[in-house]
Amino acid sequence: MKNINMVDLNGQYRKIRWKVNREIKKVIKSSSFINGPIVKEFQNNLQEYLNVRHVIPCANGTDALQIALMALDLKKGDEIITTNFSFASTIEVIVLLGLKPVMVDIDPSTFNLNPSLIETKITDRTKVIIPVHLFGQSCRIEEIINIANKNNLKVIEDNAQALGSKFKFSNSEKQMLGTIGDIGTTSFFPSKNLGCYGDGGAIFTSSDNLAYKMRGIANHGMYERYYHDEIGINSRLDSMQAAILNVKLKYLDKYNQRRQKSADLYNQAFKSIDKIQTPFVESDIDSHVYHQYTLKVPSEIRDDLAEHLSLNNIPFGIYYPLGFHEQKAYKQKFLSDNDFPATNEIKNQVISLPMHTELSRRQINYITDTIVSFFK
């Protein structure tokens, strides 16, 4: 079997090579490497794709979260509610800004922050909820928005893993993830569903005020050249990355459909194996774009299965080995309680399989046959 990768960026590039190369050459020829017209063009195209009023491109998904928090006029010690099972960026920026992270346990079926646990954590210092749409699946954002409205909190959606996914509201209307909260953020890290060839990120909002403020913060707090009204940071999407993203944005829906198709094939193959729990999809197909395809297996055999995959040259990922509440950097300093039974249980059960836009049916068959044989 030809090498199987967790992601196959080269295979994806080969199919759009001439377009990407042409656009990169254009940027080089123009020498407009920073804030070139292509950045604005990508911004407009993404606004249209998401159907959101403002897209603010920035340097990466971590900065996007930081800029969003900086725009909300928070005070040191204000509390931010978020999930304790995610990539580190989410908690990192909270702590770096002198805010207090208040972690909430997850729903063990979706791995997403459990909305029914939020209200017990709200105090009079709580200002923001940051839900993460983990692994490509929408969290229960409607419930979270209702809780936020009731308690006068802001919502920042960390949508680094689910760009292009939609949430279906109880009235059946659908809306792009990242455009539902007050602010949404994303990452264009190469392996994300819409990835560039370096670092990149973006912020979304429908508020003119927040958009104005965040554009300034991303640009040294500068609204008029060399006049600094706020303490800002330097966070730009460069023209080369914008040019690549502009090409790839046109393929995003197709890419996500390919991921959904591969997930389907995996699901079918594992249906008959009781010990495998395939990803639980809460809503309809649009709500999961499979940034990761993550199985749950009994914790006693998870590491043996991982070894079996390695022996058969199939890569896998353990996302994530620990919740934030157990990470060395965060464990003692900031977390008041240890009440994360769902995270503690599932961190030993999860195993993510290769998932990308270039997986062939033969590769999927090889992967599923290898896994099924482990359980026989």
Ligand X SMILES: *Cc1c(COP(=O)(O)O)cnc(C)c1O
Q: Phi/psi at 142 (nearest 5 deg)?
A: -65, -45
**Tokens matching residue 351:** 């195993």
What are the C-alpha distances in Å from 359 to residues 255, 284, 364? Answer: 11, 23, 7
Q: Is 160 one of the binding residues for ligand X (CB under 6 A)?
A: yes
Shortest distance, CB of residue 100 to ligand X, whole angstroms?
19
The span from the CA of 319 to the CA of 131, in Å, is: 17
**Tokens matching residue 52:** 């959101």
Shortest distance, CB of residue 224 to ligand X, whole angstroms?
29
**Binding-site residue total for ligand X (CB under 6 A)?**
15
Instruction: State which of residues 111, 189, 293, 330 lies at the interface with ligand X (CB under 6 A).
Output: 189
Shortest distance, CB of residue 349 to ligand X, whole angstroms?
20
Chain positions 48 to 87 lying near ligand X, rule: CB under 6 A, are 60-62, 86-87
Q: Is 89 one of the binding residues for ligand X (CB under 6 A)?
A: yes
Nearer residue to ligand X within complex by CB, 270 or 290: 290
Q: Is 235 one of the binding residues for ligand X (CB under 6 A)?
A: no
Helix (H) or strand (E) holding 165: none
Question: Which 8-state DSSP code applies to residue 280?
Answer: P
User: Which spans in the chain are helix H?
Assistant: 9-30, 37-50, 61-70, 89-96, 141-151, 208-217, 239-249, 252-270, 299-311, 341-346, 361-375
Instruction: State which of residues 46, 113, 132, 364 lies at the interface with ligand X (CB under 6 A).
Output: 132
Cα 86 to the chain's mean position, in Å? 9
Judged by CB under 6 A, the stretch of 137-145, 154-162, 204-212, 320-328 that binds ligand X is 154-162
Shortest distance, CB of residue 96 to ligand X, whole angstroms?
13
Instruction: State which of residues 12, 43, 84, 90 lies at the interface with ligand X (CB under 6 A).
Output: 90
Nearer residue to ligand X within complex by CB, 60 or 343: 60
The span from the CA of 349 to the CA of 208, in Å, is: 44
Which residues sit at the interface with ligand X, rule CB under 6 A? 60-62, 86-87, 89-90, 132, 158, 160-161, 187, 189, 199, 201
